[in-house]
Amino acid sequence: MSETQSNEELIAWAQTLEGYARDWDETFDKRPGYFTQEFWYLLVGCMIADWRGKPMTVSAACQFMKSGSSRTREERIKRAVSDGFLSKEKAGDDGRAAIVRPTPRLEAMMRGHLERTLKMVREAV
């Protein structure tokens, strides 16, 4: 059984989640094209994979995203590369597979975003 949370606790949590979303928008300079749902999985997933020393292939990055057709997912990757958030590199000896990695710019932005929002969550709970 789960314990019942007070309205005040849930309000604090809801405000924290809203703050997280607002911080995401601020991190990406309120760019209307970098919506959380569409890009969060791609950008955070690529960053975590790279931090773990196992960069994602383009195919894996496409599968990691939760919405959109295959073409839409590939277009998101192309856009993130074009805007300087991800780099795309050949992988393996045969050069057929490609990996995507966060650029230093994205890593700095996301590190700041995650540090700020972790602080908000810690303060809320």
Predicted local confidence at residue 1, as pLDDT: 45
For residues 16 and 121, the answer to whether their CB atoms sit within 8 Å is yes
pLDDT number for residue 108:
93
Q: Comparing C-alpha atoms, which of 43, 22, 34 is closest to residue 120?
A: 22
pLDDT < 50: residue spans in the chain: 1
In this predicted structure, what is the pLDDT of residue 2? Answer: 56
Gap between the Cα atoms of 73 and 94, Å rounded: 24
